[in-house]
Structure 1
Amino acid sequence: MSIVVRDVREHELDSVLALNNAAGPAILPLDAARLRHFFETAEYFRVAERDGTLAGFLIGVGSRAEHDSSNFHWFRERYPDFFYIDRIVVASRRRGGGVGRAFYADAQSYAELRYPQMACEVFLEGANDPALLFHGSFGFREVGQHVMAEVDVRAAMLMKQLCSYAWVQETYGEALPKVPWVTPPRTAAASAALAQRPTGTCP
């Protein structure tokens, strides 16, 4: 009955793609090539298992990533350093069972060691009050709105301050302890992106 969050495996990409494209209008569709690009470059690409089956996934990138999302660029034009949640998908049969909160707790544990803020967006078309409530209860606040020209959808742009980041930087700098839960970036490209980041403190 427990939820296990771990790095995605290559053989699971077809299942992840099916989950994404069955998620409905709140999630933009993907094709296999774009998902493969995420697999090869995304700093954070993890899945959740519940009862031995795939329950969802979350993809995140740092602010220095080569990422073509207009929402990502909206944040990058305004904020120098952040961890961006590109998408989170939970299988319909698992919604409301804690998978989303498990993902956000895991993503924050990763991000707060490396970034002062987390960013994401919620589409405002349709009945998305539950998504806004979920993010608000997790500490995200709206910092603006953006219309995605490519799909003509308005999104609420959300940020969360990660104030543990300042303490981590003051205490460890970039030399984080070598312990299992301090997961390193998944790829060499992600490591290079982290190396190019400016240092800073949480406002």
Structure 2
Amino acid sequence: MSIVIRDVREHELDSVLALNNAAGPTILPLDAARLRHFFETAEYFRVAERDGNLAGFLIGVGSDSAHDSSNFRWFRERHDDFFYIDRVVVASRRRGGGVGRAFYADAQSYAEPRYPMVACEVFLEDGSNPVLLFHGSFGFREVGQHVMPDTGRRAAMLMKDLESHAWIAGTYGDGLPDVPWLRSRELPAGGQEAPRSTGTDA
């Protein structure tokens, strides 16, 4: 069956929270307040739907975000302009079915008109090799390692160059076509951070 990637809806936050906290040690836990903050501020917060059921989610922010993750700060101390994948979670029953690949393809389609690079991290621990291979197959490379001060966990810091960004920026500037797949997420009332624009109607 097809995988549908779309913006999260407010009534789905409890289900997203349950997915996150059932994902195991490779994903940091969330509480409801933290998830609500992402809902109100993250420029990319999308879910995957398969067979009518929630199959996963991905949250991403731009380098000018006020995000307080130490991993995000590590990248910002070294790079000026990037899209950061804070977390991607796929429901256990859906793993291996293409949901993760669909998310990364969609996130890249969102990021490439806006940013020259994508950043993320993978925790280095037993069982991390398949995750590193997954990211390597998408063109990510390790640019360093970081130990999170609050957890003591070591992560491989990964980045991917978005090769079409320079051409898109040079060709279209701020005047990208007003088409659905290029539009930024509309933040709920009270959201603090505006998504990066790709044109007057985006």
TM-score by length of 2: 0.93
Determine if the alignment matches structure 1 residue 3 to structure 2 residue 7. no
- SS of 2:75's equivalent in the other structure is helix
Q: Counterpart of 1:82 in structure 2: which amino acid?
A: F
Determine if the alignment matches structure 1 residue 110 to structure 2 residue 147. no
Deviations 1:28-80 (A, max 9, x none): 00000000000000000000000000000000000000101000000000000
Deviations 1:85-109 (A, max 9, x none): 0000000000000000000000000
Quote the residue 2:76 is aligned against.
Answer: 76
Q: Counterpart of 1:194 in structure 2: which amino acid?
A: R
Quote the residue 1:160 is aligned against.
Answer: 160
In 2, Cα distance between the equivalents of 1:126 and 1:64?
33
- SS of 2:84's equivalent in the other structure is strand
In 2, Cα distance between the equivalents of 1:167 and 1:92?
38
Q: Counterpart of 1:163 in structure 2: which amino acid?
A: E
Q: 1:86-105 to 2 correspondence within 5 Å?
A: 86-105=86-105
Unmatched segments (≥5 aa) in structure 1: 196-203
User: Is the contact between residue 44 and residue 186 of structure 1 (CA under 8 Å) also seen in structure 2?
Assistant: no
Of all paired residues, the percent bearing the same amino acid is 77
Unmatched segments (≥5 aa) in structure 2: 198-202
Moved more, 179-188 or 159-168: 179-188
Quote the residue 1:33 is aligned against.
Answer: 33
Q: Which of these residues, 184, 193, 196, is aligned with residue 194 of structure 1? A: 196
In 1, Cα distance between the equivalents of 2:67 and 2:85?
12
Moved over 2 A (4+): 185-191
C-alpha deviation, 1:180, in angstroms: 1.4
- SS of 2:30's equivalent in the other structure is coil
C-alpha deviation, 1:136, in angstroms: 0.2
Q: 1:99-138 to 2 correspondence within 5 Å?
A: 99-138=99-138
In 1, Cα distance between the equivalents of 2:183 and 2:25?
32
Quote the residue 2:20 is aligned against.
Answer: 20
User: Is the contact between residue 4 and residue 50 of structure 2 (CA under 8 Å) also seen in structure 1?
Assistant: yes
In 2, Cα distance between the equivalents of 1:43 and 1:134?
24
Deviations 1:135-173 (A, max 9, x none): 000000000000001111000000000011001110111
Quote the residue 1:85 is aligned against.
Answer: 85
Q: Counterpart of 1:40 in structure 2: which amino acid?
A: E
C-alpha deviation, 1:189, in angstroms: 4.2
User: Is the contact between residue 119 and residue 158 of structure 1 (CA under 8 Å) also seen in structure 2?
Assistant: yes
In 2, Cα distance between the equivalents of 1:80 and 1:186?
25
In 2, Cα distance between the equivalents of 1:72 and 1:124?
17
The number of aligned residues is: 194
User: Is the contact between residue 43 and residue 196 of structure 2 (CA under 8 Å) also seen in structure 1?
Assistant: no
